[in-house]
Structure 1
Amino acid sequence: MAGEWWEMDLLKADWDIKQHVIDAYFNASTINGKLGDLYSCSGAVEDGYLLDVEPGRTYLLRIINAALFSEYYLKIAGHKFTVVAADANYVSPYTTDVIAIAPGETMDALLVADADPGRYYMVALPNQSPLPDPQSPTLITRGIVQYSNKQRAADGGGRPSSDIPVSPEMPDQHDMITSFYFHGNLSGLHHPQHLDVPKHVDERLFITLGLGSICRGGQSSCKRSENNESMDVATMNSFTYQQPAVATPLLELHYYSIDNRVLSMLQELPDKPPRVFNYTDPALIPPGPKEAKLEPTSKATIARRFRQGAVVEVVFQGMAILSSESNPMHLHGHDVFVLAQGEGNYDATRDVPRYNLVNPAVKNTVFVPRLGWVAVRFIADNPGIWYMHCHFGFHLSMGMVALFIVEDGSTVDTSLPAPPADFPTCGHDHNVMSNEFYPI
């Protein structure tokens, strides 16, 4: 598990990010919660994650990025991985010496202990977009893959000639192309439960992802380009998500068909952004007059309704407004077929013929590359209200969120189940059960 070590309260960090008060950032990276020997506490070198292996054996590693801020590159010196699953779906076996894994993603990989007996560093490196994007400290961490003492004794009497672990050569922290090719090389594996990609599409969405700004204090106009009168937000088609000010959860209102209350709170997520421009123009990254014209953002509880069983195609387009960051987009309650990805601006005429409709990877978190795009397709067959959001913690806090509402079908299996009989009411005075914690 790749993660982060924070030396501040995460609720405060979340509030600070929302208010754009400070640049909240973590203090170290971890593997399975351990800092590793690049860090020290009170002058003592920290322990790192240790994986003991026996020569010739094959190990299944279930790898999770549980971080808030960064995609990680993972390598083990002298070894290769064979990736066999992603987001709990089989992929065609893919052999690589580096795994790129974004927040919210999971990868299953086979590791064969076929190197010379010894000790090898397992290194996790958070990557980031290059300048002119804002830069963060490079907080690398490492554990150790160690061949068993029994094997060492058989090979020479106890310990290897050098107890210093071998280090892998890591990608540069600004190398985003390694991630692009890693994700592009994932494809689905045909097996008895394999689902075919639906060929007919009922609804198509083109969703731009980036940053924008809103005026502080609810003002209708203000100065932008990182002026104190405005506040940076994360956007989808020039909307930033606003949590509805209601005590009754939307899912409960939806179940009891109190549609007027629900509809009055929601703003429909449009099919496409309000304006067309060169979304990936690097000149838009630094704040300035050209970029400021594209910053203004609407704040609303944005949602999109789909009928039960509808086939939906979404193209996520990364933008360059104020930053050129990638975006790991996660849809709750559904898996998606990852049809294609590309650099630059999406062009349907050029890019649709490149779709993989035979064996695309099936995932629930798709990594939209820096200044690029990803096309996905899914079947809206899970009734309820589902978050669709960026899995970077700061983008989530800043509003890169929408609700996907899947309507009930005609059967019990395609309809939202009732709240449980012991569902607490939390003292709300109305004629339906209610709870702040009934999940979206």
Structure 2
Amino acid sequence: MASWLRVLVILACLFSSLVECKIRIYKFNVMETNTTRVCTTKPIITVNGLFPGPTIFANEDDNVLVKVVNQVQYNVTIHWHGIKQIRSGWADGPAFVTQCPIQPGQSYVYNFTIMDQRGTLWWHAHIGWLRATVHGALVIQPKVGFPYPFPSPDNEVVIILAEWWKSDIEALISSAMKIGIVPQASDAYTINGQSGPVSYCYSEGGFSLSVEPGKKYMLRIINAALNEELFFKIAGHNLTIVEVDATYVKPFKTDTVFITPGQTTNAILEANLATGKYLMTASPFMAEPVPIDTLAATATVHYSGTESSVSTTLADIPPRNATPLATAFVNSLKSLNSEKYPAKVPLKIDHSLLFTIGLGINPCANCIHGTRLAAYFNNVSFIAPKIALLNAHFFNTSGVFTDDFPGNPIIPYNYTGIQPKNLRTMEGTRLYRLAFNSTVQLILQDTVMITPENHPIHLHGMNFFVVGKGLGNFDPEKDPDNFNLVDPVERNTVGVPSGGWVAIRFRADNPGVWFMHCHLESHTIVGLEMAFVVDNGQGPNQSVQPPPTDLPSC
């Protein structure tokens, strides 16, 4: 990184009132790279020429600075997925929400401090579909004196699950938008950038994890796929789940991990067999039947001393519609809720909200068939502004957004029953305003407006507790009686079940503008997004910091 930045960092430490000043400095060159995947050679957009991108390593309480230099023809932003960004929303990354994009030939330094977080998170591009190849892990070690609340593993391994398209993905998006539909499904899934052998390319190989008998390995599993919820498993082995979304959970054993786009899961693999090779798989989960032929990714767990000629023990790939398997995994997740790591679930609620989720069809003068697919919260499809929402909020710029996002559906109906006749959505840049430190209960309700679907919903800026879920329509009279307010799992991304609902609670203790959206890019691109604006509290420690001088302009 440039010497001026290092000097600035050193000076900041010297004049800091903190006892200890810990700085992590990285440089990301966003660049075009030629690569071969699934026997297809093509240029892709990467960070530092790597796919997946470089891993960020930090400790809790570290200050992280990442200089991002845009060397490609597209606008770029980077989101630090799951980092709470306390008062530092300018570093959060979603384009036109907390910043204008980094334009070709320009750069921006993301500057944030990791507060009260430890575990596995990740980073990715947050504009268009660039995150298909622009993504990587963010590993946060606990601070000194706070060991893992489970036996320490002998080794730790990042496992990134993703998707691969043989064609140019930006061209696919452009073509789909002209037609008014979502882009085509990917051609293969990947594990750490490799698919393993596929039907049309048996020479592809695959990722191989070498293990020593008797040792324990913590797998830091990240679902970086654009559009698919995934099952992950290793033949012949159970995994012990110890953490999700950088929050500890009560450990439990499973032979199959279920993980939605945006989520992370830490699982302990015990190499408790003497020898052999064992298949690792990543395969899709789809509650509703969808005609997609994307190929499962395969890799290998290879015990030391095993001859390469030994046959690999195969894993049974779960059926795509294995809903009971996915449900059982989700139901097993509980917060650790210990003295060191309590589950601070809001019990008194200031805002009780119900957001419906679904797909609609809107007129489109520029589309081939005159209509296009739309997606919504509470029948509002998000329209990105021309300047960043956080900038407009901080400087009180009028005309950029309104704060009248509906807290409940404008026209209630049987959301999981008969499809309504009107499939149109409203469009706008409407935010929901929250007072600092207010508490929120939000019901996320899937609908059958076109078809029921699973939706992984990600909230920026704040974690939340998943206090309840169910199928059908949420019943405000009966369902809250079954809420878990003692040890619900704490997350930043939650899967809303097809034809069902989830209930989350959070405290709005982070001032700024915070995006909430579906983490299926096929839904985000057509409007399944909104944002909360959290007002400042009392004094500078409860207020958004001023924008940095190198903040990109629109």
Q: If the length of structure 1 is used for normalisation, what is the TM-score?
A: 0.85
- Which one of 286, 306, 318 corresponds to residue 434 of structure 2? 306
2:173/2:183 contact within 8 Å kept:
no
Q: Which residue of 2 aligns with 1:136?
A: 292
In 2, Cα distance between equivalents of 1:8 and 1:302? 35
Q: Secondary structure at the match of 2:399?
A: helix
Number of residue pairs aligned between Structure 1 and Structure 2: 393
Report the Cα offset of residue 10 of structure 1: 2.8
| Number of the residue aligned with 2:382 | 241
Pair 1:208-2:356 in alignment? yes
Query: What CA deviation, in whole Å up to 9, does each residue of 1:192-237 have, x standing for no partner?
Result: 142421210000110111101111239xxxxxxx993322111111
Q: Aligned-residue CA RMSD in angstroms?
A: 2.0
In structure 2, what is the equivalent of residue 81 of structure 1? 239
Amino acid in structure 1 at the alignment position of 2:389: L
CA contact (8 A) 1:84 1:92 kept: yes
Q: Secondary structure at the match of 2:313?
A: coil
Verify the 8 A CA contact 2:186 2:294 in the aligned structure 1.
Answer: no
Residue 122 of structure 1 aligns to which amino acid in structure 2? M
Taking the aligned partners of 2:551 and 2:481, their CA distance within structure 1 comes to 50
Question: Cα distance, 1:21 vs. partner?
Answer: 4.7
Unmatched 5+ stretches in structure 2: 1-159
Paired letter, 1:13: L
Q: Which residue of 1 aligns with 2:131?
A: none
Tell me the CA shift for residue 274 of structure 1. Answer: 2.2
Q: Determine the structure 2 residue equivalent to 1:102.
A: 260
**For the residues of structure 1 that align with 2:261 and 2:433, how far apart are their CA atoms?**
27
* Alignment partners' CA distance in 1, 2:341 and 2:182: 48
Q: Distance in 1 between matches of 2:453 and 2:226?
A: 14
Q: Does 1:29 align with 2:170?
A: no
The offset of 1:16, in angstroms, is 4.1
What are structure 1's unaligned runs of at least 5 residues?
Answer: 153-158, 219-225, 285-290, 425-434
Contact persistence 1:70–1:392 (CA under 8 A): yes
Question: What are the Cα deviations for residues 82-120 of structure 1, in whole angstroms up to 9, with x where unaligned?
Answer: 111110001111211100011000001111111341010
Partner of 2:168: 9
Please give the secondary structure, in 1, of the residue aligned with 2:430: strand
- Kept after mapping to 2: 8 A contact 1:36/1:48: yes
Say yes or no: does 1:194 pair with 2:335: no
CA contact (8 A) 1:338 1:360 kept: yes
Paired position in structure 1 for 2:476: 348
Q: Does 1:252 align with 2:391?
A: yes
Q: Which runs of 4+ in 1 moved over 6 A?
A: none
Q: Give SS of 2:330's match.
A: helix
> Aligned ranges for residues 277-288 of structure 1 at < 5 Å?
277-281=413-417, 284=419
1:373 has 2:501 as partner: yes
Whichever residue aligns with residue 375 of structure 2, its letter is A
Describe the shift of the 1:229–1:347 C-alpha distance in structure 2 as closer, same or farther (beyond 3 A). same
Deviations 1:120-177 (A, max 9, x none): 000110122333xx4211421110001101xx4xxxxxx38x7111112222012223
CA contact (8 A) 2:233 2:315 kept: yes
Instruction: Tell me if structure 2 keeps the 8 A contact 1:266–1:301.
Output: yes
Q: 1:254: how far off?
A: 1.2
SS at 1:33's partner residue?
coil
Confirm or deny: 8 A CA contact 2:185 2:294 kept in the other structure: no
Tell me which residue corresponds to 2:80. none
Alignment partner for residue 60 of structure 1, among 218, 225, 229? 218
**Superposed displacement of residue 311, structure 1:** 0.2
Structure 1 counterpart of 2:321, from 170, 174, 183: 174
